[in-house]
């Protein structure tokens, strides 16, 4: 037992600005997506990225079932998409996802990664899914949507 209050740890980690992603997968029950900021690059050779999912997350079992996932890094003007996949359903976005290599992704995202799960690592109350990148797309003209201290923001423009 560490003596660290989980809420205090969450608040402290929340002070670290992150990009905002939508994690998606496809199972026999359909396409699934969720907003997440627990994403990072792991290796350039081989090309690996990872996501971290809470054991209580429905997405955890869906990715286990499919063995694949996509990560769409949202552009600065996609806050409404982040809210939609965070549970604030917007009927206008019900059919937003497009296919890339037989996985759903968010069109217009700043970056899109399509992966297959290479490794699963249990880490406390989360599972890390390390994905081998099979396909990527990057929009050079796009700034990312950021999340810090409980709110969405964007990269400051130079003065």
Measured in degrees and rounded to the nearest 5, phi and psi for residue 83 equal -65, -40
Tens of pLDDT, residue by residue over 28-85, are 999 999 999 899 999 999 999 999 999 999 999 999 999 999 999 999 999 999 999 9
Cα separation, 85 vs 79, whole angstroms: 10
Q: What are the sequence ranges of the domains in the chain? A: 6-154
pLDDT given for residue 140 in this prediction: 86
Q: Which DSSP symbol is given to 5?
A: -
127 Cβ contact list (under 8 Å, min separation 6): 52, 53, 55, 60, 120, 121
Report how far residue 97's alpha carbon sits from residue 110's, in angstroms, rounded to the nearest whole number.
Answer: 14
Residue 10 in this model has a pLDDT that exceeds 90: no
In this structure, the number of other CB atoms found within 10 A of the CB of residue 41 comes to: 11
| pLDDT value at residue 14 | 67
**Six-digit token string for 101:** 């290599």
CATH number for the segment(s) 6-154: 2.30.110.10
- What is the predicted pLDDT for the residue at 13? 66
Radius of gyration over every alpha carbon of the chain, rounded to an integer in angstroms:
16
């Amino acid at each position: 037992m560490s003596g660290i209050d989980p809420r205090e740890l969450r608040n402290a980690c929340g002070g670290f600005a992150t990009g905002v992603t939508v994690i998606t997968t496809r199972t026999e029950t359909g396409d699934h997506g969720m907003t997440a900021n627990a994403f990072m690059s792991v290796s350039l050779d081989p090309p690996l990225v990872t996501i971290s999912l809470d054991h209580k997350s429905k997405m955890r079992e869906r990715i286990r079932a499919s063995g694949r996932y996509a990560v769409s890094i949202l552009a600065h003007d996609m806050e409404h998409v982040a809210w939609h996949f965070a549970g604030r359903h917007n009927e206008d976005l019900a059919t937003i996802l497009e296919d890339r290599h037989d996985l759903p992704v968010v069109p217009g995202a700043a970056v899109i990664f399509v992966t297959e799960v290479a490794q699963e690592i249990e880490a406390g109350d989360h599972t890390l899914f390390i994905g081998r990148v099979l396909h990527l797309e990057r929009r050079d003209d796009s700034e990312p949507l950021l999340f810090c201290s409980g709110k969405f923001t964007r990269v400051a423009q130079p003065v």
